[in-house]
Structure 1
Amino acid sequence: MAPRALAATLDTLPPSQADAAAPGPARLRDLYRMLANVRQLDTSAVAWQRQGLIPGYAPMLGQEAAQVGAGFAVDTTRDFVFPTYREMGVAYTLGLNMVEYMSTHKAIWHGGLYDPVASHFAPFQAVVGGSVLHAVGWAHGQTLNGASPDGLGVGLAFLGDGASSQGDVHEAMNFAAILKAPVVFFVQNNGWAISVPTEQQVAGGSVAARAAGYGMPALRIDGNDVLAVLDATQRAVAHARAGLGPVVVEAMTYRRGPHSTSDDPGRYRTLDDEKIDGGEDPLRRFRSVLVEQGVADAAFFDKTDADAQTRADEIRDGVVALESRPGSEMFNFVFQESTPTLGAQERQWREESEHV
C-alpha cells in the first residue's frame, strides 16, 4: 500500500485567538506524559486479554497522537465527546476513571461504568458510525438552547475511515450541515477498515474530500503529529463554537496492531507493510521534538515511563477487582420511563433468573 498524501483540503479555518499561541514547555511535557500513559495502558490491555483477564480489547497502537491531541482540545465544561470503541486515549486524556472505562472490555457493563453526564464522554459502543448521529443530535440541542457569551458547546464525533462508508455517517453529516450544528467529525484514518485498505473502501481519495459535498470545511492533517492534531482540533472547535457549523478533521495515522484482539493482521498485511506504511512512531517523533527544543531530558523520559507503568498496574488491579453487576440493571437505563413491553421483559427475566 502506497504512502498516503497529507495535503490539507479546504483549509479555511483560522486559529482561534485563545489557542493561537504555541504550547509552552510545561504543556509540551504534559502532552508527552499523556502519550506515554496511553501507550502503556494500551499495550498492557492487550497483554491482559492474552492472560485471560479481559475477554476482548480494541488496540489503538500508533494512534496515540491523534487521540491525545484531539482530547487536549476538548473543553469538558461545555463540549461533549462521542467515541467509538477505540477511543481509550481520548478517555484517558479527558481524565476518566480508567477502571470504570475498562469495565466494558471486561464485559462487566456495556458502555462503561463512568458517568457520561459528569465526564462529558458518551458511552462507547460497537455500532460502527452509530455515535456520530448522537453527536449531531446533541450538537443541534446546543443551538436550540442558545449560545452562551463564550459560544456554543461542541460535539466531537469520533469515527474511523471504515465508518465513513456507513449510511449513518452520511445522514449525520447532511443534517449537521443543514442545521449548522456545532459538531466536529474527527476521522482517524488508520489505513484499514478491519482488513480492507482505505483506498478500496473510501471513494473520492479521502474522507475530508467528501466534506465539500455537504458544504463543510475540512482539515486533512498528519495524525501522527500530536501538535498538528491539537492545532487542527482547536481550530475546528473554534469554528463550530462560533456558530459557523460543522467541520471534518481527517487525521492520517496508522493502526499498527490488530483491529481487535480477535483479529490476525497477518492475514491481510505483512510486517514489512506495517513498517513502510506506519511511518514514524508518534511517541518517538514527539520525544525528538522535546529533546530538540530542550524542554525534556533522559531523566524526564525515564520517570515518565516508570510512572506510566505504575499507573497501568494500578488500573490492572482495579479491573481485576471488578465484580459482576446485578443483571436487573439491564432494564434500568433503556428509557427514561419504562414501557409495558420492557416491564414484561423484566418480569420474565426475574422469573427465569431470580425465580421471583
Structure 2
Amino acid sequence: MTLQAGTDTALAATDHGAASSNDYRTGTAARLAGLPVETLRVWERRYNISETARSARGQRLYSDAQVRRLSLIKQLVDEGHAVGSLARLEDEQLRTLLPAATPAAPAPARPVKVALIGDALVRRLAGGGRELFALDIVGACASLEAAGRLRTSGAEVLLIELAELSDAALAPIAALRAQLGAAAVVLYRFGASATLARLRADGCIVAHGPADLSQLVLLCESARPGAPQFADAASIALAPPRFDDASLAALASMPSDLICECPRHLAELLMMLNSFERYSGECANRTPADAVVHRDLGVAAGQARMLLEAALERLARAEGLALPVADGAA
C-alpha cells in the first residue's frame, strides 16, 4: 500500500476490513460467529447456508443478522444437529431447537473501528493477518502532525505509534480525541515517565511498541468505549492477612521431609504479596487517576493473597504441617 503523508487512507482493499458497519467479509463473519473460516466456506459451498450479498469484487458480505444466524447454527451443531438440516430452517425454527436451559446465542461482538496514525504502523497492518479480523480499520494517516485532516467513519479507537513520545504530543493527541470522540492507544519506543503518566491520567492506554498483532487487537478492544473493566475495587471486601511476615518466614525456613518445596514457595509468595499490598496502599498519588490505579493494585494483590492463603492451608492439612499463626491474625 502506498501512503502519502497527510493523506487519509482507507484500507478497504485488505481482506480483514468490513465493507460497511453492517457488512462483514467471510473471515470476519466466521470469527464473530465462533467458526473456523474454513468451516464457513464449506457450509456455503455445500449447503448455501446464507443468502449473502456480494461486494463489487465478488466477495461475500454478511449482515449482523446473518452473523447471528451463523452463531445460532454453530450452537446447534455443537448440540449434535446436522448442519444440512439446519441450513433449510428459518431463524425462529432454529431457536425452537435450542435446549430449554440454553439461551439463544447473544449478538456477537463487532470489530473495533480503528483509525491508524503512524506510517510504520499503517504499513505493518496493511499486510493483514488473521488477528486483524477483530479490527475494522476505517482510516489512516502517516503522522500525528497530519492527523488533523483525518476523516474517519466513526472511529472508536485511535491507534497511534510514535517512535519518540514527548510532551509535544500531548496536546495534538488530546485535540484529535476530542475531534473524533475516540479513545486512544499510544505505542512508543522511547518516552519520559512523566509523559506516559500524563497520557494515562488522561485515559489513554500506553504501551511500549512495536507490539505484535494479537497485542494490538487486545489493546484496541480494551480501549473501546464500553469495554469490560476491572470490578469496582471499592465494592470488594478483603479479609485481613492470616499470616504476618514473621510467621511466613518461620514457615519458609521450617525443615521438611517433603520431596517438593511448595510450602516454602507459597510462604515466600505470600510475603511478597503482603509487602506489595502494603506498598500500593502507601504509594504517592500525584493525580486522582493515580489513586484509583493504586487502589486497584492493592485490591488485586489482596485477592491474590487470599487465594494463596487458602491454598497454603489446604497444603498444610494434606501434609500434616503445623501452620504458625501470628498474634492477632485470623
TM over 0.5: no
Q: Under a length normalisation based on structure 2, what TM-score does the superposition of the two structures give?
A: 0.27
The higher relative CO (CA closer than 8 Å, separation ≥ 6) is in 1
Larger radius of gyration: 2
Q: Under a length normalisation based on structure 1, what TM-score does the superposition of the two structures give?
A: 0.26
